[in-house]
Amino acid sequence: MNINNELEDKLLKQPFAEDLERNADYRLTAVRYAQIENAIAVLSDMKANMSYICHGGLSERLGIGIRGTSQDIASIWEEDIFGCIHPDDLQAKHLEELRFYHFVMSLSPEVRSDYYLHSHLRMKAASGEYVKVLHRMFYLDYDANGCARLALCLYNVSVSDSSEHLIVNSLTGESIRPESYSCEHLLSNREMEILCLIERGWMSKEIASELFISINTVNRHRQNILMKLQANNSVEACRIAKSLKLI
């Protein structure tokens, strides 16, 4: 499973609550951003697995849309936009978004919306040249279960030569580099120990014998690992852990 698939699983397989939909106001926000900033604004609904794309002037420059128009697509992945991103930058984008997702989900719900991901990308224009683009990603709405329901991605022509990725607190202005953010606190020392043994192919009985604990205790730790990494099985948990540099 690649980074793109891991990120998709994290976003689409959240245990969403049966809340009322609240994306009408956010759709208008996306339209306004596209108009005012000549941006591409993408509002993605993870529960419905769909996106609402608003085209500003940048869309025309990239040759993927007409300024002032919008469209719904049946996916949270805007393939036409991704097709313009330099392949190296696209891979890095998905990895940083995976780290950002785990970062915000590790925070208390009341402060999650204070943070956004700030990146710079190279995107190919219709002329064939690469344009430096600022990409910002926000999780806008969390449901009753604490799941990230809506995300807004904004693409603007950048005035900076920077290529760094930052997680920014919009309230304080503080920022951290996603690659410097350690996810180790997501797992306890015992869970890390067990995860390393799982990655080596050990079964619960072998782990229990090695660590002098019961199989039930091992299985409880395994379930906690899956929950904290938002993984569906042990193989996926190991892949995610490697992406996050836990193991």
Give the model's pLDDT for residue 245.
74
Give 185: exposed, middle or buried? Use CB within 10 Å, 0-12, 13-18, 19+.
Answer: exposed
What letter would DSSP give residue 111?
Answer: G
Question: Does one domain contain both 158 and 49?
Answer: yes
> Which of 126, 153, 180 is where one domain is finished?
180
Residue 70 belongs to domain spanning: 3-180
CATH assignment at residue 63:
3.30.450.20
Question: Does one domain contain both 119 and 222?
Answer: no
Give the model's pLDDT for residue 146.
83
Give 157: exposed, middle or buried? Use CB within 10 Å, 0-12, 13-18, 19+.
Answer: middle
Q: Are 148 and 139 in contact (CB under 8 A)?
A: yes
Question: Does one domain contain both 150 and 237?
Answer: no
Section 108-127 average pLDDT: 94
Between 135 and 110, name the one with better pLDDT: 135
Question: Does one domain contain both 239 and 163?
Answer: no
Q: Taking the alpha carbons of 28, 31, 36, 40 in that order, is the dihedral positive or negative? A: positive
Unique residue bearing structure tokens 């769909």: 50
Question: Does one domain contain both 106 and 189?
Answer: no
> Which of 156, 180, 204 is where one domain is finished?
180
Question: Model confidence at 134, in pLDDT bands (50, 70, 90)?
Answer: very high
What letter would DSSP give residue 85?
Answer: B
pLDDT at 1 over 50: no
Question: Does one domain contain both 239 and 155?
Answer: no
Question: Does one domain contain both 139 and 205?
Answer: no
Between 127 and 185, name the one with better pLDDT: 127
Across 88-92, 184-188, 214-218, least confident range: 184-188
Question: Model confidence at 194, in pLDDT bands (50, 70, 90)?
Answer: very high
Q: At 205, give phi and psi (nearest 5°).
A: -65, -40
Question: Does one domain contain both 174 and 232?
Answer: no
Question: Model confidence at 183, in pLDDT bands (50, 70, 90)?
Answer: low
Which helix (H) or strand (E) element contains residue 40?
strand 40-45
CATH assignment at residue 211:
1.10.10.10
Question: Model confidence at 230, in pLDDT bands (50, 70, 90)?
Answer: low
Residue range 48-71, pLDDT digits in tens: 899 999 999 999 999 999 999 999
Single pTM value for the model: 0.74
Question: Model confidence at 8, in pLDDT bands (50, 70, 90)?
Answer: confident
pLDDT at 160 over 50: yes
> Which of 131, 162, 180 is where one domain is finished?
180
Question: Does one domain contain both 170 and 223?
Answer: no
Question: Does one domain contain both 71 and 136?
Answer: yes
Section 201-210 average pLDDT: 93
